[in-house]
Structure formats: C-alpha cells, structure tokens
Amino acid sequence: MLDDANVIKQRDPSGALEAVASLPEQARFQPMIDGEPISLGIKSVVMAGMGGSALAADMVKILTRDELTVPVEVIKGYDLPNHANESTLVIALSHSGNTEETIECYFQARQAGCQVAAMATGGRLLELAAQDNVVRAEVPAGAQPRMSTVYHLRVLLKLLEKFGLIGHQLFDQVSESSDWLTDKLREWSAESPLEHNYAKQLATHAAGKSAVFYGGQLTAPIAYKWKISWNESAKNVAFWNQYPEFSHNEFMGWTSHPVDKPYAVFDLRSSFERPRIAERMELTDRMLSGMRPKARDISLIGDNLVQQFLWGLALADMASIYCAILNNVDPAPVALIEKFKKELS
C-alpha cells in the first residue's frame, strides 16, 4: 500500500509528505528580529508554549546545556514560575499567535517586569509584542506547528544569541545541516520502496498498535516529538517517557497481563547519551522479555546532536504520515483540536 502512488495521493490530499520535505529550507531560514533587547543581568530563562510550539524549546534546553550559564525552564501551561522578575527572560512561543495559555504567560511576564520576547506566525501575540515594543520574530505560516519545529528552533537560537546568552555556533550547525538533511529525506520519500524505506518500515511495524517512545536524558525531546506526530498525524494514541526515570516506576507497569499487548515499543538512542542509558534500555528489554513486546531501536544519525535532532524529528514526521496512510486518515488536519479551542473560547 505504501508503495502505491495513487493510495498516497488519495490519503494525503493536503500534501503532508511534501510539507516535511521543506525541513531543509526551514534549516536555512534567516529570522528577522524586531526590537532591541535590554539584556541586563539575565539570571534565568523561561520559554512558554504549548504542543508543537514548545517542542523547539525542549530541544534548545538540551542543545544549550553546555553553553547557557543560567537555569532554563519550559512552561506548558497558564502560569509563569513565581521567581520570574526583571532578571528573567521570558520567551512566549505560539505558532498561531493566539494560544491562550501563552498569551496569559506573556501578560504575566509584562506585569512582573520580565525581559520579554515573542515568536509567532502572526495573531494576537505579535500584535501585543509590537504594541509593547517587545523583541519579536515572525515565522512563516502555512505548515502545522509540529511540522514547523525547525523554524521555531532557528528563531529561539537567534533570540538567545540576540540577548547575549549564547554564541552563533548552534544556529550555524542547523543551517549547515540543510543539504545533509535533504539527502536523508530523499531516502524516506514516497518514491522510495518499502524494502529500502526506513520510515515506511517503522510505520508498518506500528500500524494497528499504540506506540510508546522512550528517550534518554538527551533524546527525551525527540521521544516527545514522536509522540506528538503519532497523535496528530497518524491519529493514534501514543505515549512517551525517558530513561533513567522509566526504570524507577513505569518498568513495573509492563510486568502484568499477557505479552501480546497491543503496543509498538521504540527506544530512541543517541551516541551522545551516557553509555549507562543504553545499558538500561538493553537490560530492560531482557528483563521484560515475555512481558512486553520487544523494543525496536531507532538510532539517531548525525555527527553532532543538532544533526541527530533534525534527523529524528524529520523521521518522526515521515513515519507518522505513512502510519496515517495505513490508518486511512488525512495526516494534516487536527480538526477536533481546533473545534476544542473554539468551544473553549
């Protein structure tokens, strides 16, 4: 089925596969930053966003771990931490610019006297930021938030550089990986047959099951990305967790009930993780043999963590879209989420 061009065209009418093919273009995106930061004595950073809009924040927190010298929090809700004050940089992230939780955090940041920046495709958030003369960046519209992560990543890295908190190396690594990512995406294109197409193989393995994705301390954001893509593109229930936390609680959850549980388990691995993480994953699979489906390893490819993150999120999009095609659902729209937001408002 996944090698049938007519089936793919019928079940992907919005061109989600083509949208993912634009990721290398996103990696070359040069954000324009409006407004001048004060950047006086920043002692903490808070990035506030929801869903796909917050994914790049999770990634940036990991990528900058050796460079940022101040604590970083990612807030996915209505409220900033109580410590937010004039020495806190708050970056409000909303792809649409209308996310109510993020706008509430923006108002709280302004009231607390924080240093503030905003990112969106437009909407109320950018209107408020322009009105308040807050540092802001506009990202291109058109794609779903979960498929715009590289745009968001570029903006966040540029904003942190603009505020004097990091250098330009990570920002450059993203753009320098553009051609490399193009080659990887070609391997997973609709024209590439199942027998040679890793994304199609992963989708086929998970079809008809609930997927569970596990990462480590570094790969946790990518495990979360796979969960998001499976939810929104494949329209499948999916879950994620990370090691070593898994070993302290969820491990036991697999020990009862039959082995033929309706799950597809995936371990996301990185060569940059502590070796102990891989040891935990391997020991877990041995000890849970006969109690859960065997985990399938997804080893992230790339010469640095930036490349591995780009490879992992691109593969997540492609595999989840192919799973949507197998599920006979349109991978692009998230109509029920949009309806929920309207009902809530």
Q: Is the peptide bond before 244 cis (omega within 30 degrees of 0)?
A: yes
Check if the beta carbon of residue 298 is closer than 8 Å to that of residue 202: yes
Query: pLDDT (tens digit, 9 = 90+) per residue, 181-203?
Result: 999 999 999 999 999 999 999 99
Same domain, 215 and 314: yes
Identify the domain boundary among 176, 197, 217: 176
Same domain, 169 and 36: yes
Domain count, the chain: 2
* Rounded distance between C-alpha atoms, residue 212 and residue 241, angstroms: 8
Query: pLDDT (tens digit, 9 = 90+) per residue, 81-101?
Result: 999 999 999 999 999 999 999
CA-angle at 99, arms to 93 and 105, nearest 5°: 60
Q: Which residue range is the domain that position 199 belongs to?
A: 5-16+189-327
The residue whose two tokens read 């699979």 is: 285
Residue 345 lies in a domain: no
Helix axes 100-111, 123-131, angle to 10 degrees: 20
Same domain, 37 and 169: yes
Query: pLDDT (tens digit, 9 = 90+) per residue, 234-255?
Result: 999 999 999 999 999 999 999 9
**Confidence band of 261 (pLDDT split at 50, 70, 90):** confident
Residue 96 CB: number of other CB atoms within 10 A?
17
Residue 182 lies in a domain: no
- Its pTM stands at 0.95
Same domain, 161 and 34: yes
Same domain, 35 and 169: yes
Residue 75 lies in a domain: yes
Residue 342 lies in a domain: no
Same domain, 229 and 279: yes
At residue 39, the pLDDT reads 66
Identify the domain boundary among 176, 208, 225: 176
Whichever domain contains 88, its CATH number is 3.40.50.10490
Same domain, 118 and 203: no
Residue 181 lies in a domain: no
Same domain, 201 and 302: yes
At residue 233, the pLDDT reads 95
Q: Quick one: 18 exposed, middle or buried, by C-beta within 10 A (0-12, 13-18, 19+)?
A: exposed
Residue 233 lies in a domain: yes
Same domain, 49 and 99: yes
**51 φ, ψ (degrees, to nearest 5):** 55, -135
Same domain, 280 and 301: yes
DSSP-derived pairing of the beta strands 135-138 and 210-215: unpaired
Same domain, 221 and 147: no
Q: Quick one: 199 exposed, middle or buried, by C-beta within 10 A (0-12, 13-18, 19+)?
A: buried
Q: What is the mean pLDDT of residues 294-313?
A: 98
Same domain, 146 and 206: no
* Rounded distance between C-alpha atoms, residue 71 and residue 67, angstroms: 11
Letter string b/e over residues 272-302, b meaning 16 or more CB atoms within 10 A of that residue's CB? ebeeebbebbeebbeebeeebbebeebebbb
